[in-house]
């Protein structure tokens, strides 16, 4: 393993000895001494890569790329680390997730003291009297004892603090919240709720169960001016960009609006946009958007309009997904479809006829079937070719419908961590037999479908490593069960998981010839990983960090320095 200085010296010596006509144009960046997984079948693996501006010039061996190094080339020595195309999150709610970064996420925090440390960090950055919010703590990780208002009072005596439990069915508050809300030992419990009280004094402990959470009275927040709102939105997005860069996410396909995309373009002009943004709009807007001249794919490779998003059902966790057979745990109920087949067909036909790509949320097997039917009808009526319409989530699929994805060219846009989260209750909801074709990644691929992977952030964490782990193991992340995987015949390999998180997601937005693989003429979006995912045990995937993230030939994350974006020289 040669040092950066040695590699640069060797390259300069080599290029200076070449005849003038054989010398290559110097690159703006060269990555060398790497284990590059290109996701390009013409050259699956490589050692080095040359970049000019936003684009890849060449991929090959160290010796083949050395001539591209000039006196002003930025050389990154990967020191034999794994390099893969940047992760493209095919389904997220990025702006919402970015806003939640201002709120404290206590997911998986394993002790009371660690929770208090995280709350104190936020309190120290806040003004006295400013409300402190957090969510997703789980006191059962610490034992059976509930926390108290006194615990929070120790680290936040001058700020009201509200922390929602992971279930959302209770809140933990400090004394200031109780005082501002007028909750005392004389307060009555509301219907279907309870103010937890000290058994000796009768004073509220700070835990409000179920409907008692509605007793919290926040002081009115001052209304922001339009300029202040925009500044806040930009600040939130920038925090989201940094979070994404640290995780190797270089592209997102996300809920958005035309106004929000204008803000993204402003951030790009300011040099603060460090990921590529494809924003989806609402399916019901198809006619109006068409009249405005807006179509899927408009924009550039930084900010562009994506598919039109619709809904056909609810979720498996809430028991509201549209299913053919009633739920096992609710035998009189088969979900809540949002519209009839005829209404869905009409919406899809209009959007398809006007040149839009379509993505519809469908989780239950009946919901998935209805969407496939609508897409099939649109192709017959409108004669549309290679539309690559999508089904977002596609969690429970009727066996006969699995091969229809490949046959119709429909993209299953799926989130691996939904599988490893939902497996806890899926069989309770729909039974063992129907779960055999739940999250059926292997079967979809064998049927000719191209999967686009993502996270659904902020429903699940944005970290792609959780997705890779989930698709490779089909094991619950918290409990690491079952050891052999839930319906292990549907597991994927590490390579497949990475492929459908990069190339597959790019294919799902008609951009596989631009990104999703590392080859000459592709965008220079890639990540350097701290561990070789192909060489470590699957459980270590979760701990793998992103050492560097490069977007458009620009280093936007360096874990060694902790710097992001324009902080990096």
Does residue 21 lie within any of the structural domains?
A: yes
φ/ψ of residue 291, rounded to 5: -65, -30
* Domain shared by 374 and 456, yes or no: yes
Of 162, 196, 215, which marks where a domain is finished?
Answer: 215
* Domain shared by 197 and 251, yes or no: no
* Domain shared by 481 and 517, yes or no: no
* Domain shared by 262 and 162, yes or no: no
Does residue 39 lie within any of the structural domains?
A: yes
Domain of 278, CATH number, reads: 3.20.20.140
Does residue 506 lie within any of the structural domains?
A: no
Among 241, 267, 221, 196, CA closest to 129? 221
**Residues 68/517, Cβ–Cβ less than 8 Å:** no
Does residue 6 lie within any of the structural domains?
A: yes
**Residues 208/173, Cβ–Cβ less than 8 Å:** yes
* Domain shared by 467 and 403, yes or no: yes
Of 195, 215, 235, which marks where a domain is finished?
Answer: 215
Does residue 235 lie within any of the structural domains?
A: no
Per-position DSSP letters for 370-396, written without gaps between them: HHHHHHHHHHHHH---S---EEEE--B
Among 53, 51, 43, 44, CA closest to 24? 51
Domain of 34, CATH number, reads: 2.30.40.10
Angle, CA 142 vertex, CA 138 and CA 144 arms, to 5°: 90
Q: What is the mean pLDDT of each run of 10 residues along the chain (569 residues)?
A: 37 35 76 98 98 98 97 97 98 91 80 94 90 80 82 95 72 94 93 86 91 86 80 94 98 97 97 98 96 96 98 82 93 89 98 98 97 98 97 98 98 96 88 97 98 92 97 91 95 98 98 98 98 97 98 97 88
pLDDT value at residue 363? 95
Does residue 228 lie within any of the structural domains?
A: no
Domain of 180, CATH number, reads: 3.10.310.70
CA distances from 131 to 2, 99, 125, 221, 531 (A): 53, 15, 12, 10, 40
* Domain total of the chain: 3
* Domain shared by 150 and 13, yes or no: no
* Domain shared by 313 and 455, yes or no: yes
* Domain shared by 523 and 416, yes or no: no
* Domain shared by 391 and 520, yes or no: no
Distance CA 402, CA 405 (A): 6
Of 215, 237, 256, which marks where a domain is finished?
Answer: 215
pLDDT value at residue 141? 63
Distance CA 279, CA 513 (A): 19
CA dihedral in degrees (195, 199, 203, 209; nearest 10)? Answer: -10
> Looking at 53-154, which runs of residues are DSSP E strands?
55-60, 74-77, 82-85, 87-92, 104-105, 132-137
Residues 6+ apart with CB under 8 A from 105: 134, 135, 136
**Residues 569/279, Cβ–Cβ less than 8 Å:** no
Distance CA 255, CA 459 (A): 13
The sign of the torsion formed by the CA atoms of 109, 113, 118, 122 equals positive
Q: In terms of residue numbers, what domain contains 452?
A: 247-492
**Residues 393/460, Cβ–Cβ less than 8 Å:** no
Output helix, strand, coil percentages for the chain, rounded to the nearest 5. 35, 20, 40
Cross-strand bridge partners of residue 569? none
* Domain shared by 182 and 320, yes or no: no
């Amino acid at each position: 393993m040669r040092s950066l200085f040695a590699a640069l010296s060797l390259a300069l010596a080599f290029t200076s000895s070449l005849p003038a006509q054989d010398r290559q144009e110097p690159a703006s960046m060269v990555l060398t001494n790497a284990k590059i997984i290109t996701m390009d079948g013409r050259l699956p693996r490589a050692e080095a890569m040359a970049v000019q501006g936003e684009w890849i010039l060449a991929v090959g061996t160290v010796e083949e790329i050395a001539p591209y190094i000039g006196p002003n080339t930025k050389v990154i020595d990967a020191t034999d680390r794994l390099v893969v195309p940047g992760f493209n999150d095919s389904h997220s709610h990025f702006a919402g997730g970015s806003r939640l970064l201002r709120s404290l996420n206590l997911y998986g925090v394993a002790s009371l003291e660690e929770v208090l440390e995280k709350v104190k960090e936020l309190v120290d950055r806040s003004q006295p009297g400013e409300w402190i919010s957090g969510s997703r703590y789980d006191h059962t990780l610490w034992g059976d004892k509930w926390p108290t208002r006194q615990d929070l009072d120790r680290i936040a005596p001058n700020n009201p603090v509200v922390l929602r439990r992971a279930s959302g069915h209770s809140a933990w508050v400090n004394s200031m919240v109780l005082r501002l809300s007028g909750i005392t030992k004389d307060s009555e419990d509301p219907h279907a709720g309870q103010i937890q009280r000290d058994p000796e004094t009768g004073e509220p402990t700070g835990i409000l169960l179920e409907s008692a959470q509605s007793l919290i009275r926040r002081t009115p927040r001052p209304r922001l001016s339009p300029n202040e709102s925009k500044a806040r939105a930009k600040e939130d997005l920038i925090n989201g960009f940094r979070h994404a860069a640290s995780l190797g996410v270089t592209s997102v396909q996300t809920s958005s609006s035309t106004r929000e995309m204008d803000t993204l373009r402003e951030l790009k002009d300011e040099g603060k946009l460090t990921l590529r943004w494809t924003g989806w709009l609402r399916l019901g807007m198809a006619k109006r958007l068409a009249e405005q001249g807006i179509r899927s794919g408009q924009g550039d490779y930084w900010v562009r309009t994506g598919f039109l998003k619709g809904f056909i059902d609810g979720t498996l966790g809430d028991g509201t997904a549209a299913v053919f057979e009633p739920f096992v745990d609710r035998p009189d109920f088969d979900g809540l479809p949002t519209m009839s087949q005829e209404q869905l067909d009409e919406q899809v036909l209009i959007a398809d006829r006007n040149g839009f790509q379509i993505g519809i949320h469908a989780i239950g097997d009946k919901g998935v079937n209805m969407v496939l039917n609508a897409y099939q009808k649109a192709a017959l009526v409108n004669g549309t070719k290679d539309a690559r319409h999508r089904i977002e989530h596609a969690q429970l699929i009727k066996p006969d419908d699995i091969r229809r994805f490949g046959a119709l060219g429909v993209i299953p846009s799926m989130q691996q961590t939904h599988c490893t989260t939902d497996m806890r209750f899926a069989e309770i909801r729909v039974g063992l037999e129907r779960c055999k074709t739940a999250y059926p990644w292997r079967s979809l691929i064998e049927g000719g479908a191209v999967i686009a992977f993502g996270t659904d952030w902020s429903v699940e964490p944005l970290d792609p490593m959780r997705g890779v782990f989930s698709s490779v193991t089909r094991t619950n992340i918290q409990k690491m069960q079952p050891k052999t995987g839930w319906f292990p015949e549907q597991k994927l390999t590490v390579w497949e998981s990475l492929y459908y998180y990069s190339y597959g997601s790019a294919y799902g937005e008609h951009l596989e010839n631009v990104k999703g693989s590392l080859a000459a003429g592709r965008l220079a979006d890639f990540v350097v990983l701290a561990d070789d995912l192909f060489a470590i045990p699957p459980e270590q995937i979760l701990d793998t960090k992103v050492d560097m993230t490069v977007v458009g030939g620009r280093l936007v994350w360096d874990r060694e320095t902790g710097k992001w974006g324009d902080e990096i020289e």
